[in-house]
Amino acid sequence: MRGRDERAGSLFSYVSLEQRVRGDHPLRAIRTLANEALAALEGEFAVLYSGFGRPSRVSRSSARISAA
C-alpha cells in the first residue's frame, strides 16, 4: 500500500526552503526537472505496491531523499 507524497518542510525550521533558496538558484531548475521525471515514472512505481497493508514511503519521496 502506498503512502501519500506529503512534505513536512517545516519540521525543524521556522523558515521554509522556499524562503531560504533564492529564486534564481540552479537547484530550483534541477528540482523541477527531477519532479517532472519522477511524475512521468509514477505509473511504473504504482505497480510495485500492494493495494492493501501498511502504507510505505512513496517512491518519489524516496528518490528525492536519495538524490540529496
DSSP 16-55: -HHHHS-TT-HHHHHHHHHHHHHHHTHHHHHTTS-SSSS-
- pLDDT tens digits, residue range 4-63? 666 555 566 677 778 888 889 998 898 889 889 888 888 888 887 777 777 766 666 666
Q: How far apart are CA 16 and CA 36, in angstroms?
A: 22
- Structural contact between residues 9 and 16, judged by C-beta atoms closer than 8 angstroms: yes
The answer, as to whether pTM is greater than 0.75, is no
Q: How far apart are CA 14 and CA 63, in angstroms?
A: 25
